[in-house]
């Protein structure tokens, strides 16, 4: 009898250990959630005492769990803890998988690292971070890791609508057994990015994922309405270039774009690479609205104080992130603080542009003073310096445009003004 009791006790111990191990495995299983670090931060072990690694700002990580102000994350092969306040949700860039064969997803950005899976050709994946390195971090469903950038291209979008016969289920990946993440209502407009064996990846303002292709139709072509003849605007010799530095900003730049559109005005935005990395969707909006994009270095360093290699990196890294975001490089350059020398200009393939009117909007933060500076200095060929990171500048723009338009000025980009 005693032997039987010992045997039963041993069996329960084995089962208990097995259950604990299973729970640990489950706890360490990566989720489908990706977040981005908002600052350089240390990753700690489970005791929150030992430092494992340091992550730079804007690093994508896999979220495993969140509790008591700490987030358990996985970065490459490291699993540890970061204060939750140092992480934020990220808006991915959608990319199309196109290669000779299915690309491998690895744990790290190293060809020798462990393989986590493969990406099917012509699927849409979520890209986090910039696409400037050899390997980039992507997610497809619950598969997340590093893949060769050469296997990804920007998809071609196509306008579609949901059929009127039924609502359409949106799924995480192209499979009827995958997780349901939402529903698209009848007749909803969508943008289709790929069509893959009966599945289409679609995106709207609120929802993105895979739907059955047979639930979509091409929007009907509307009959063209008679167009009234348009009298072309008379040519003017009064041209002025409005320029905005240090953005893009998620709020201020949007307001500036709306005001420019109101007056049919074009401008030049000298962007900072770090801000483009944080807000790529704003740069796309600027570019799609027909404005010119200029390079203003990666993090606004005074170039004349840097070593040649660091100076070169400031310019080239910004060009690279601009191109990866909008598909083309900057067409003009402006040095931070207007400080440059021959070493800097030798690195440029585009015009080095300063200004003729300095509104000092960054200093006084007063809309009235900004308006006055432009009114007093405006003349044909003027280049106005402002900053699209200050709310007061956005608040001044409407009066600036209204006044100059009444005076007969045409608002053009810097390249148009220079005749480039």
* pLDDT (0 to 100) of residue 225: 52
Between 197 and 226, residue with greater pLDDT: 197
pLDDT grade, residue 3 (50/70/90)? Answer: very low
157 pLDDT higher than 60: yes
Active site residue 26: no
* pLDDT (0 to 100) of residue 235: 45
Active-site residue, selected from the candidate residues 246, 387, 388, 398? 387
Residue with tokens 């084995």: 14
Question: Checking DSSP bridges between strand 135-140 and strand 93-97, what pairing results, if any?
Answer: unpaired
Question: Checking DSSP bridges between strand 268-271 and strand 292-295, what pairing results, if any?
Answer: parallel
Active site residue 245: yes
Q: What is the DSSP string of 211-273?
A: EEGGGEEPPPPPPPPPPPPPPPPPP-S-EEEEEEES---TTHHHHHHHHHHHTT---EEEE-H
* pLDDT (0 to 100) of residue 90: 81
Tokens matching residue 50:
């030992």
Phi and psi (nearest 5°) for 374? Answer: -70, -45
* pLDDT (0 to 100) of residue 32: 63
pLDDT grade, residue 220 (50/70/90)? Answer: confident
Closest CA relative to residue 169, chosen from 139, 213, 123, 126: 213
Task: For 372-401, give one letter per residue: b (16+ CB within 10 A) or e.
Answer: ebbeeebeeebbbbbbbbbebbbbbbbbbb
Enumerate the H helices of 305-355 as residue ranges.
308-326, 342-345
Q: Alpha-carbon distance 408 to 420, whole Å?
A: 23
CB atoms within 10 A of CB 154: 14
pLDDT tens digit string along 81-130?
999 999 998 888 999 999 999 999 999 999 999 999 999 999 999 999 76
Q: Alpha-carbon distance 199 to 351, whole Å?
A: 47
* pLDDT (0 to 100) of residue 25: 30
SS3 374: helix
* pLDDT (0 to 100) of residue 19: 39
Residue with tokens 């057994």: 177
CA distances from 204 to 125, 141, 165, 174 (A): 16, 18, 20, 17
- Give the range among 18-27, 75-84, 185-194, 276-285 with minimum mean pLDDT: 18-27
Mean pLDDT of 56-69: 93
pLDDT grade, residue 206 (50/70/90)? Answer: confident
Mean pLDDT of 271-286: 97
Active-site residue, selected from the candidate residues 245, 246, 361, 388? 245
Q: Would you mind telling me the total number of residues written for the chain in this entry? A: 420
CA 53 to chain centre: 26
Q: Alpha-carbon distance 267 to 239, whole Å?
A: 12
- Does this model's pTM top 0.85? My answer is no
Q: Give the chain's mean pLDDT.
A: 88
231 pLDDT higher than 90: no
CA 42 to chain centre: 24
173 pLDDT higher than 60: yes
Do 118 and 106 contact (CB within 8 A), yes or no? no
SS3 181: strand
């Amino acid at each position: 009898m005693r032997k039987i009791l010992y045997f039963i006790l041993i069996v329960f111990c084995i089962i208990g250990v097995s259950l604990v191990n299973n729970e640990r495995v489950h706890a360490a299983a990566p989720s489908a959630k990706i977040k981005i670090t908002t600052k350089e931060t240390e990753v700690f072990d489970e005791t929150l005492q030992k430092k494992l690694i340091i992550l730079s700002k804007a690093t994508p990580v896999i979220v495993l769990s969140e509790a008591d102000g700490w987030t358990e994350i996985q970065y490459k092969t490291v699993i540890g803890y970061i204060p939750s306040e140092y992480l934020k949700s990220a808006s991915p860039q959608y990319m199309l998988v196109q290669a000779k064969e299915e690309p491998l997803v690895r744990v790290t950005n190293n060809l020798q690292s462990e393989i986590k899976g493969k990406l099917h050709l012509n699927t849409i994946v979520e890209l986090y971070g910039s696409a400037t390195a050899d390997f980039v971090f992507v997610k497809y469903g619950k598969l997340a890791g590093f893949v060769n950038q050469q296997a990804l291209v920007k998809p071609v979008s196509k306008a579609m609508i949901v059929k009127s016969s039924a609502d359409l289920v949106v799924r995480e990946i192209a499979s009827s057994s995958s997780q349901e993440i939402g529903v698209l209502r009848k007749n909803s407009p969508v943008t289709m990015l790929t069509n893959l064996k009966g599945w289409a990846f679609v995106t709207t303002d609120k929802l993105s994922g895979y739907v059955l292709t047979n639930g979509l139709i091409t929007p009907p072509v509307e009959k063209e309405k008679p167009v009234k003849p348009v009298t072309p605007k008379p040519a003017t010799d009064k041209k002025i270039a409005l320029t905005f530095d240090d953005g893009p900003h998620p709020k201020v730049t949007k307001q500036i774009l709306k005001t420019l559109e109101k007056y049919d005005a074009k401008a030049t935005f000298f962007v900072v690479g770090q801000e483009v990395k944080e807000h790529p969707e704003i740069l796309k909006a600027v570019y799609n609205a027909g404005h010119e994009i200029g390079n203003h270095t990666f993090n606004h360093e005074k170039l004349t104080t840097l070593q040649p290699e660091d100076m070169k990196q400031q310019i080239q890294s910004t060009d690279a992130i601009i191109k990866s975001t909008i598909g083309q490089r900057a067409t003009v350059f402006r040095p931070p603080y207007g400080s440059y020398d021959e070493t800097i200009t030798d690195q440029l393939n585009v015009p080095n542009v300063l200004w003729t009117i300095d509104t000092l909007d960054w200093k006084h933060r007063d809309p009235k003073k900004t308006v006055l500076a432009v009114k007093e200095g405006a003349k044909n060929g003027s280049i106005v310096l402002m900053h699209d990171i200050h709310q007061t500048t956005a608040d001044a723009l409407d009066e600036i445009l209204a006044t100059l338009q009444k005076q007969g000025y045409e608002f053009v980009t810097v390249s148009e003004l220079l005749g480039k």
